[in-house]
Amino acid sequence: MHTLGEIATYIDAKLIGDASIEINSLASSANAQKNQLTYISKRKYRTDLLTSKASAVILDQDLVNDCPTNALVVDNVHLAFAKISHYFKQQSTHLNGIHTSAVINSNNIANNCTIAENVVIGQNCRIASGTVIEANVVIGNNANIQANVTILQGTTIGNNAVISAGSVIGSEGFGNALDDQGHWYSIAHLGNVVIGDDVNIGANTVIDRGTLEDTQIQNGVHLDNLVHIAHNVILGEHAAIAAGVTVGGSAVLGKYCQIGGGTVIASHMHLDDGTIVTGSSTVDKHLSKGHYTGFTSISPHSDWKRSQLWLLKLDKIISHLNIKLKHLKGS
Amino acid sequence: MHTLGEIATYIDAKLIGDASIEINSLASSANAQKNQLTYISKRKYRTDLLTSKASAVILDQDLVNDCPTNALVVDNVHLAFAKISHYFKQQSTHLNGIHTSAVINSNNIANNCTIAENVVIGQNCRIASGTVIEANVVIGNNANIQANVTILQGTTIGNNAVISAGSVIGSEGFGNALDDQGHWYSIAHLGNVVIGDDVNIGANTVIDRGTLEDTQIQNGVHLDNLVHIAHNVILGEHAAIAAGVTVGGSAVLGKYCQIGGGTVIASHMHLDDGTIVTGSSTVDKHLSKGHYTGFTSISPHSDWKRSQLWLLKLDKIISHLNIKLKHLKGS
Amino acid sequence: MHTLGEIATYIDAKLIGDASIEINSLASSANAQKNQLTYISKRKYRTDLLTSKASAVILDQDLVNDCPTNALVVDNVHLAFAKISHYFKQQSTHLNGIHTSAVINSNNIANNCTIAENVVIGQNCRIASGTVIEANVVIGNNANIQANVTILQGTTIGNNAVISAGSVIGSEGFGNALDDQGHWYSIAHLGNVVIGDDVNIGANTVIDRGTLEDTQIQNGVHLDNLVHIAHNVILGEHAAIAAGVTVGGSAVLGKYCQIGGGTVIASHMHLDDGTIVTGSSTVDKHLSKGHYTGFTSISPHSDWKRSQLWLLKLDKIISHLNIKLKHLKGS
């Protein structure tokens, strides 16, 4: 718990309002409640600002007059948010063995695991050697967690989970603010990862925690190896994602989506329920239900080279042909 | 060992034949022998069925009359196979330290390793800290196995192997059956990974075990970091695969293939001996010996945007030009 | 320390010069000094040879007459270099616990770490469970090194580093020489990884050491998850690379570059300061400052199929149209 005055000092903001009110956490502008702090970085979110229930808002001079509550005025809102996020981040402190506060209802746990404060593990779980489970993780029944897995603080996992060797669940998202010298300032991600029942996760796959809300892996999702799931992503029930797929931040996949191996899904894309994407595609558009593809089909190297040259000068060639045609018509 | 009657009950199949015969394992229709169970999921494999030496076959009503042996009749053959695969899966049970049954002929083994039942490790091997080796793994002489590697049950590794940090060998394949509600049901992979002599494996690379037969990494293969090798893949001798490559299930690469970094090879593709693929390509065809490429060459963002628009309306433009030409000709 | 005569015997070279001189290390032709050995594998590097300060050079018969110093003459220079590289490689030998020679100025170190000979760790560092740090690694102050990380020998890391779970720093580069039977012979990488201040590294990311010089990750660089950084790469200050990016060997990225997720950067590419690359692109050219893109935009599967067919026969269609036009003009 910090007063707004302390926070203003920490991020070097001009405080307009009550310095003594207490802030206990950060939240998005849409979800923030009493005693929470939010931020508005762009004029287009002005409506969110007007209706926000947050006790205070970080914003710039441009939006001060629209602020219905306490304001922290700064030049670079995103950077101020990045700084204050670290103020609210709590690090798992336990480093060795099984913490006395952990509640473990299974016998099949390797000695060589680290299980931290307040972890709860259900019945009939198997946790192999080298696995590290940080504070406040909750795991349901019948989990099969293989070797050298890392599950970071606050992750929730339902029943019947399979988590393959080397995977990392709950890593920091890749959200960074730029300061005025072009230096990156990482955002401490305060959301968690929430995983439903009957989820399978492949080897060396990584799932990042959310920025303020949670990254969601819903019931029945199957992920293959070396998959990247970025912060704030929502994977709908029974989605299947093959190996080597990169899912960008805040992407939302509906239920029953099938994504082929090596595909890249850009940040913020939405895929409707039942969308199928061929492997190795680049999803650079929102997709409604259907089957989509986007890559260059392989061909002999010399053919490929020629076709790429044609591709880039296509507009010139076509316009040239059209001019020729006009001339002929006119002749 | 289970009787066919027990299996029929487990997967809720109608048994036609002898309920008392004993089934000791699963096998593909081509390789199954006496006391083995196989499955035929599609009419096109009917010839395999007719000649199968399996003691029993899971199939659907459509193929019952072609079955030369005991039959387990179900509606969803693939799902029934997925269910019964778990019945035959044996999990490595050892969780801590070095099992007394392990035979280790090297001294350079970190204390902080887990080595399970019946593992055999040859002479002059170095195994670094955090590495986990499951039951029945066999490793030849002169292996250099770095830190935090996971080698799952039944993997065989020849002489002179280098396995870099964080790699996972023998993880489950991403084979899943769909039930009639669109839910995925994972197949327990009963094949192993077989690695020849003089094989180098990079860091955080993953090699899945086979479904029923083995995934094969033949002599002299070199794999870079963050490579995915799916279930049932065969990598021919002295193939070299650079970083970030995704090789789909059942792909077969001949000897001396060279695959550039970031390439995606679709499932079931066959590449002849000596095939070279430029990095970042998508291999969506079988390839005979040669040099192949398939990606979009980079260009300034605005040029790229225009060329992609042209690409998608190319057929309309060309047909439009042809019509104009015809009109001119006719005029 | 080895005499040139010993080395000549080891790689089966014809020695022209003084067999008794002592060689203490390998170096590139440009950087080699007294008591160092280098190699010249192609005629185009002849100028480097003429001015080299190395005490000896591995080369083939073709370049012997241009050699200003002691020569080791072989048929396959690259292969000879690969062989001798292993001669100079020193392996971290410590396997268990914290070596007595390690200097650790922080308390927050998990028991379950391995920290080898001569490691130096600064103040206020946190090192989580399962992490393995090999010989001669130097880590500055305030490092947050998460679970199951592997840092290989000789890596240098500045202040304020964040290294996420499962990452591998200092793995061998994927440099291999071919012998005359088409077999790969790995090069032992003798360079290190040098990481500046304020660097963030994501989960399950891999950074390879340099061949002879060091791989460089300069101040303020932020890397996301599952990124591959190959040997000899230089990432300029404050570069940001999103998840799933593959950076090929010897690529050089200037300061402030931003690389979107899933991009592949080919070996030896140079990107100027401030270059921006959209995610999922293939960087197959040197890039000057600007915004670049290169991938196939996604579309419905049938549209994609048609456009790919058109793309490959584009040159034929255009030349056909031109011929028709000529005929018309002529008519």
For the cut 80, the answer to whether the pLDDT of residue C330 exceeds it is no
Task: Give residue A98's pLDDT.
Answer: 96
A274-314: per-residue pLDDT in tens?
Answer: 999 999 999 999 999 999 999 999 999 999 999 998 888 88
Residue B98 lies in a domain: no
Nearest CA distance, B218 vs chain A (angstrom): 22
Residues A242 and A310 occupy one common structural domain: no
Residue B267 lies in a domain: yes
Task: Give residue A311's pLDDT.
Answer: 87
Q: Which of the 8 DSSP states describes residue B227?
A: -
Residues A11 and A58 occupy one common structural domain: yes
Task: Give residue B282's pLDDT.
Answer: 98
Residue B93 lies in a domain: no
Residue C93 lies in a domain: no
Residues B213 and B108 occupy one common structural domain: yes
Q: Which of A130, A225, A315 sits opposite B130 (nearest CB)?
A: A130
Residues C233 and C313 occupy one common structural domain: no
CATH number at residue A280: 2.160.10.10
Nearest CA distance, C93 vs chain A (angstrom): 21
C207-229: per-residue pLDDT in tens?
Answer: 999 999 999 999 999 999 999 99
Q: Which residues of A touch B282 (CB under 8 A)?
A: 262, 279-280, 295-298
* Residue B128 or C309, more confident: B128
Q: Which of C88, C114, C138 is the last residue of a domain?
A: C88
What gap in Å lies between CA B221 and CA B104, rounded to an integer? 25
Interface test with A, best of C227, C264, C298, C315 (most A CBs within 10 A): C298
Q: Which of C88, C121, C136 is the last residue of a domain?
A: C88
B188-230: per-residue pLDDT in tens?
Answer: 999 999 999 999 999 999 999 999 999 999 999 999 999 999 9
C37: left (phi over 0), alpha (psi -120 to 50) or beta: beta
Confidence of residue B320 (pLDDT cuts 50, 70, 90): confident
Task: Give residue A321's pLDDT.
Answer: 79
What gap in Å lies between CA C259 and CA C253, rounded to an integer? 10
Residues C23 and C51 occupy one common structural domain: yes
Average pLDDT along chain C = 95
Please name every residue paired with C329 in a beta bridge, in sequence order, or none if there are none. Answer: none
Average pLDDT over residues A223-235: 98
For the cut 70, the answer to whether the pLDDT of residue B331 exceeds it is no
Buried b (16+ CB within 10 A) or exposed e, C59-70: bbeebeeebebb
Cα four-point dihedral sign A302, A304, A309, A310: positive
Task: Give residue C72's pLDDT.
Answer: 98
Say if the Cβ atoms of B242 and C226 lie within 8 Å: no
Task: Give residue C331's pLDDT.
Answer: 57
Q: Which residues of B touch A280 (CB under 8 A)?
A: 246, 264, 266, 282, 284
Task: Give residue C89's pLDDT.
Answer: 93
Write out the DSSP string of B275-327.
-EE-TT-EE-S-B-SSEEE-SPBPEEHHHHHHHHHHHHTHHHHHHHHHHHHHH
Say if the Cβ atoms of B129 and C96 lie within 8 Å: yes
Q: Among residues A240, A281, A285, A239, which one has the least CA distance to residue A264?
A: A281
Residues B145 and B230 occupy one common structural domain: yes
Residue A96 lies in a domain: no
Residues A114 and A142 occupy one common structural domain: yes
Residues C111 and C172 occupy one common structural domain: yes
Say if the Cβ atoms of C226 and A228 lie within 8 Å: yes
Residue C95 lies in a domain: no
What gap in Å lies between CA C81 and CA C74, rounded to an integer? 10
**Exactly one of A99, A189, A231, A238 is catalytic; which is it?**
A231
Per the structure, how many domains does chain A have? Answer: 3
The interface predicted TM-score of the complex, written ipTM, equals: 0.96
Say if the Cβ atoms of C222 and A176 lie within 8 Å: yes
Say if the Cβ atoms of B311 and A314 lie within 8 Å: yes
Say if the Cβ atoms of A300 and B290 lie within 8 Å: yes
Give φ, ψ of C231 to 5 degrees. Answer: -60, 140
C269-307: per-residue pLDDT in tens?
Answer: 999 999 999 999 999 999 999 999 999 999 999 999 999
Average pLDDT over residues A152-167: 98
B8: left (phi over 0), alpha (psi -120 to 50) or beta: alpha
For the cut 80, the answer to whether the pLDDT of residue C126 exceeds it is yes
B141-156: per-residue pLDDT in tens?
Answer: 999 999 999 999 999 9
CATH number at residue C82: 3.40.1390.10
Known catalytic residue at C231:
yes
Residue type, A320: H
Residue B211 lies in a domain: yes
C146: left (phi over 0), alpha (psi -120 to 50) or beta: beta
Nearest CA distance, C208 vs chain B (angstrom): 9
Show the domain range for A13.
Answer: 2-87
Residues B226 and B146 occupy one common structural domain: yes
What gap in Å lies between CA B119 and CA B138, rounded to an integer? 6
Task: Give residue C291's pLDDT.
Answer: 98
What gap in Å lies between CA B166 and CA A314, rounded to an integer? 46
Q: Are C92 and C86 in contact (CB under 8 A)?
A: no
Q: Which two tokens mark B132?
A: 């986990």
B48-99: per-residue pLDDT in tens?
Answer: 899 989 999 999 999 999 999 999 999 999 999 999 999 999 888 899 999 9
Residues C314 and C227 occupy one common structural domain: no
Confidence of residue A331 (pLDDT cuts 50, 70, 90): low
Q: Which of B55, B88, B121 is the last residue of a domain?
A: B88
Residues A44 and A172 occupy one common structural domain: no
pTM of the model: 0.97
Residues C6 and C110 occupy one common structural domain: no
Residue C282 lies in a domain: yes
